[in-house]
Chain A
Amino acid sequence: MFLTTNPQLNKNGELHHLLSIEGLPGEILRQILDTAESFVGVTQREVKKVPLLRGKAIFNLFFEPSTRTRTTFEIAAKRLSADVINLAINVSSQTKGESVLDTVANLAAMQADMFIVRHSQSGAPHLIARHVSEDIHVVNAGDGRHAHPTQGLLDMFTIRHYKQDFTKLKVAIVGDILHSRVARSQIHALTTLGVPELRVIGPKTLLPMNVDNLGVHVYHDMAKGLKDVDVVMMLRLQNERMQGSFLPSPQEFFKFYGLTAEKLALAKPDAIVLHPGPMNRGVEIDSTVADGSQSVILPQVTFGIAIRMAVMSILAGN
């Protein structure tokens, strides 16, 4: 029933917008991961480009600053031969008082085919998706505390690349779950793909109330939470989203929840460490771990391009 009402899917149940991983069937997640697999090979060729989206106009609408995500979307669109237009809107029309929907309507009038949207307010990409015409696709590139689906998908791609089978894994997500749209996307994706044991580790002040309703095990102690896990997913401490006193100090946070080699030794010996970037070294992760042999943080960035190519090409074809 919910399938027909999911605003991301068209009447055939195919992905039309990518707004959130929540509510997407595993089949669609696997289609994206499998398609991305083929795009990884494209980037190793003499010509790192395919003609799939030739002539399409893709607008990067960033109402909130971002370097990595915007750049990887831009590279992905260019490798699909699309034309990419980058707009950092906090410094242009928003300051002149234009509304989000007016901005989008104007860009749609410029024959946009796809909007990649980042916004500090949860739900902004949904709002845009509801108001654009039927032939325009919207991708959420991170909205407030709500969701960051392409980050969640590239994390799934990375985990599958190193660990193959989701159904045998113990996974821990560590840090500022409360403010993290990445964590929410990861939890929905890992659950949908059948991870049997999912843990979240963090101080009470940085865990959402009722987080255990999402089907996760809650830990406040790293030593217990990291024991025997296959995958450690670190989160960035979201200083810019914190108003009020969530933490005594970054030093205090590092002492209890920063990932050091000692704490990582409690996980399985072949456990991998992910981080969505940008990293606060010495706050949530120690440099010896970030640059160590178990870190897959840089491969995540590379896979992120293939995932975004897959998402854009699947949407454009539906």
Chain B
Amino acid sequence: MSVKPLPDAEQLLTALIAQMRPQVTPETGLIGIVTGGAWLAERLHAALKLEVPFGTLDVSFYRDDFQHKGLKRKVAPSDIPFEVEGRDLILVDDVLYTGRTIRAAMNELFDYGRPARIRLASLVDRGGRELPIAAQFVGATIDVKQSVELKRDAQGRLSLALSTD
């Protein structure tokens, strides 16, 4: 059985920046989904030279699998340091798969206010959607059975790895 290597996360991020650059204004609000999406939002925010600080979202309290899974993972506080009402937003996540995380994130965002628009940027798209959700900015589409996660080393370099859980 041959295992295809996962693409290089840093190269995908460069591609994502190039796609997004003509599509944002300094007032665009980036919101990264904890944890991988938050790392990406931080990098994108710097590269795109946005004026509004980036936000982070932990969707644990909005997930639709709470009944089955409970609150097992450590929850991080969501932090959106700007007015959501009327703003052009881009949600950032590392791996787009079923779309359920994105639904939870959108539900949470509307509890902060009514944004003018929400678009979605994802480093990789694994397919496998269970909801009618699509990303406007994608680093690469990959075809792997196992779940994939983003990692960040001590130097801040990003890489993709097959998830162990």
Chain A interface (Cβ < 8 Å from any Cβ of B): 14, 31, 34-35, 37-42, 45-47, 49-52, 313-314, 316-318
Contact = CB atoms under 8 A, between A and B. Distances in A.
A313 B113 contact: no
B70 A316 contact: yes
Given A34-B74, A51-B107, A314-B71, A42 B113 contact: no
A46 B112 contact: yes
Contacts of B112: 45-47
Nearest to A14: B70
Nearest to B114: A46
16 contacts: A14-B70, A34-B75, A35-B71, A35-B75, A37-B77, A38-B75, A38-B77, A41-B78, A46-B111, A46-B112, A50-B62, A51-B107, A52-B61, A313-B61, A313-B71, A317-B72
Contacts of B62: 50-52
B82 interface: no
A50 B75 contact: no
A41 B79 contact: yes
Contact of B71 (A47, A49, A317): A317
Contacts of A14: 70
A313 B67 CA distance: 11
Contacts of B70: 14, 314, 316-318
Interface in B114-161: none
Interface of B: 58, 60-62, 66, 69-72, 74-79, 85, 107-108, 110-113
The 5 closest A-B pairs by CB, nearest first: A317-B70, A47-B111, A50-B61, A38-B77, A38-B75
Contacts of B78: 38, 41
Contacts of B58: 38
A38 B77 CA distance: 4
Contacts of B66: 52, 316-317
Nearest to A316: B70
Nearest to A42: B61
Contacts of A34: 74-75
Nearest to A30: B74
Nearest to B104: A51
B53 to A, nearest CB: 16
A46 B113 contact: yes
Nearest to A50: B61
A14 B61 CA distance: 19
B115 to A, nearest CB: 12
Contact of A38 (B60, B85, B113): B60
| Most central of B58, B77, B85, B110 by chain A CB within 10 Å | B77
A313 B73 CA distance: 13
Contacts of A313: 61, 71
A38 B69 CA distance: 18
B77 A40 contact: yes
Nearest to A317: B70
Contacts of A317: 66, 69-72
Contacts of B79: 41
B61 A38 contact: yes
A42 to B, nearest CB: 7
A318 B62 CA distance: 16
A64 B113 CA distance: 41
Nearest to B70: A317
Contacts of B76: 38
A270 to B, nearest CB: 25
Nearest to B72: A317
Nearest to A35: B75
B84 to A, nearest CB: 8
A36 to B, nearest CB: 10
A37 B113 CA distance: 22
Contacts of B60: 38
Nearest to B108: A50
Given A35-B75, A42-B61, 20 more contacts: A34-B75, A35-B71, A37-B77, A38-B58, A38-B61, A40-B77, A41-B78, A45-B112, A46-B111, A46-B112, A50-B62, A51-B61, A51-B62, A313-B71, A314-B71, A317-B66, A317-B69, A317-B70, A317-B72, A318-B70
Nearest to A309: B61
A109 B31 CA distance: 44
Contacts of B72: 317
A195 B70 CA distance: 30
B95 to A, nearest CB: 22
